[in-house]
Amino acid sequence: MNQPLLPAALSAALSAALSRYASRNPESARLHAAAAEVMPGGNTRTVLFYPPFPLFMVRGEGCRLWDADGHAYLDALGEFTAGLYGHSHPVIRRALEEALKGGMSLSAHTAGEAALARELRRRFPAMELLRFTNSGTEANLLALSAACAHTGRRKILVFDGAYHGGVLTFGGGGSPVNVPHDFVVARYNDLSSVQALTHAHGKELAAILVEPMLGSGGCIAGDPVFLAGLRGLADETGALLIFDEVMTSRLSPGGRQALLGIKPDLTTLGKYFGGGVSFGAFGGRADVMARFDPRRPDALAHAGTFNNNVLTMAAGLAGLEQVLTPAAISELNERGERLRAAANEIFVRHGVALQFTGLGSLMNLHATDVSISRPADLAGTDPRVKDLIFYDLLERGIYLARRGFVALSLPFGEAEVAEFLGALEAVVRERRDILPARDSEPETSG
């Protein structure tokens, strides 16, 4: 077990860091107070809030951000994976400008939507037919609706700690704003728990919905044997296997399903595929997706004013065809692997019980050195540790998620890796006497 923290020292250090943060950012404080007059807590996206008030950003370029008080930051968050291209990539900008010349809302089909769908199917062959939405949340909602309609069943098997959108959240026992599907919750990376539940509910299961790596749940990679086992259990029960690759799609040109050689029945996408504009997609087996064909008398309806909006179609296609080459994806993920390994080596060298887990260009900091296979393994970690590191890194010009999440963008190169690691080591060196002490080797590969 990790030795106990020094609670008084940790609390004092965090209090001092918060005080410095507040004094450094008076304009963000003012903007937040004004926002709170018209939005609850001055917020319309919960994940972006942190006390005493969040930073307000005014500009981005490449992998740099500038806040309302004039501070510059290395952007290590990458818009929670949606900012894969960085800020205002010239190719994306040109595509948007050209699209605007033809008009934004054309009230009709355009050639751009089929072109983007064709490119996505080329990268994800399991998506034999697909449809667009406005977010990954919508994509998952529609995929579940398709599974229920196709199977005639109502139960959905999901995993503790999973996140499939704002109304499909399963961390900490679920959310009161979740949609009211009949959910069956299994333990991630525990095939025996899934087997028990499929044996009990198999004839009622419409779908098994899984992230190949838990994203918001802490960048905990799904074990290949576990994920392959889900494919077998879906076949056995007649449920549809849905891979939520909203985040993991960036791990290879064809997502993690291509790396593992697993073909899901349905796949959901989102984030960066819209080139930085709102985007989502769901697709898969032709016999399932054909139920949305409006030429059929029994077609399932799927509305959405902005599903095929010209800006998303243009930006998404330009990014995929001109920027996000297989080589670019490979280099980015290799860079992420090196960063994570180097960060974990810093923790070992300074004797602190911290680790980054993840795959490729996605990773998450945890205040423990125990092996992590599922969110339950994080029970008992002290949230103040990550809070302190978050505010310390902000003070050194590094912007990441308060929960320790990091998503690299294409402009985040070797110089930026060195900058990130330098700031991280400075924080660890300064704080190591009040950070939890390590007593085992970390999990550096994911």
The pair of three-digit structure tokens given for residue 220, joined into one six-digit string: 């905990």
Q: What percent of the chain is modeled with pLDDT above 70?
A: 97
271 flagged as catalytic: yes
265 flagged as catalytic: no
Please give the pLDDT value at position 7.
Answer: 83
Show Cβ contacts of residue 192 under 8 Å, excluding neighbours closer than 6 positions: none
Q: 7-75+328-431 with 90-322: one CATH topology?
A: no
CA distance 436 to 355: 11
Question: Whole-number mean pLDDT of the chain?
Answer: 96
Q: Report whether pLDDT(44) > 80.
A: yes
pLDDT tens sequence across 347-397: 999 999 999 999 999 999 999 999 999 999 999 999 999 999 999 999 999
Helix axes 383-395, 7-24, angle to 10 degrees: 40
3-state helix, strand, coil in the chain (%, to 5): 45, 15, 35
Q: What would the mean pLDDT of 19-29 be, rounded to a whole number?
A: 98
Residue with tokens 């991630």: 188
Please give the pLDDT value at position 442.
Answer: 46
Task: From the candidates 85, 163, 272, 399, give the one annotated as an active-site residue.
Answer: 163
Show Cβ contacts of residue 381 under 8 Å, excluding neighbours closer than 6 positions: 366, 367, 368
pLDDT tens sequence across 195-221: 999 999 999 999 999 999 999 999 999
Are 158 and 171 spatial neighbours (Cβ–Cβ below 8 Å)? no
Please give the pLDDT value at position 172.
Answer: 86
Are 209 and 157 spatial neighbours (Cβ–Cβ below 8 Å)? yes
The pair of three-digit structure tokens given for residue 140, joined into one six-digit string: 């998952």
The pair of three-digit structure tokens given for residue 420, joined into one six-digit string: 């990130």
203 flagged as catalytic: no
Please give the pLDDT value at position 2.
Answer: 47
Burial class (CB in 10 A: 0-12, 13-18, 19+), 261: exposed
Q: Which amino acid is at 312?
A: T
| DSSP designation for 299 | P
Task: From the candidates 75, 160, 244, 265, give the one annotated as an active-site residue.
Answer: 244
Task: From the candidates 73, 271, 391, 392, give the one annotated as an active-site residue.
Answer: 271
What superfamily would CATH give domain 7-75+328-431?
Answer: Aspartate Aminotransferase, domain 1 (3.90.1150.10)
Does the domain at 90-322 match CATH 3.30.70.330? Answer given as: no
Q: Report whether pLDDT(1) > 70.
A: no
- What 3-state class would DSSP assign to 71? coil
Q: Where are the domains of the chain?
A: 7-75+328-431, 90-322
Are 66 and 72 spatial neighbours (Cβ–Cβ below 8 Å)? yes
pTM for this model (two decimals)? 0.96
Q: Report whether pLDDT(4) > 70.
A: no
